[in-house]
Structure 1
């Protein structure tokens, strides 16, 4: 995934976090951002556990070069 795509997804997660903060449901977030309810729920759990810090991009995925 490109850096631009990661940044876009991060923005969506932050916007979803704002919705969760004011009481939006997983279903409302999923519909708003056209993502699965499972993805919305995963984001919601992360937000509930660690706030917006949990929604930040962790960088490119994939296998490390250890």
Structure 2
């Protein structure tokens, strides 16, 4: 009977540890999703700026060479 109680106690400990791990992973995943959303927003903004700069120039397409500092 004592062996059965020890096994049940061990299973309860494992279950508690797994629940803690799942909570930790869920929290980490939520943070990563927030970072990904932020990065996608920044990428959209940069893409929009590139498109806006290209459309302002008239017939010439936007080029990264236009961004080279004058001392190069």
Normalising to structure 2: TM-score of the pair? 0.33
Question: Higher helix proportion, which one?
Answer: 2
- TM normalised by structure 1 equals 0.36
Larger-gyration structure (1/2): 2
Flag the structure with more relative contact order, 1 or 2, with Cα contacts below 8 A and sequence separation at least 6.
1
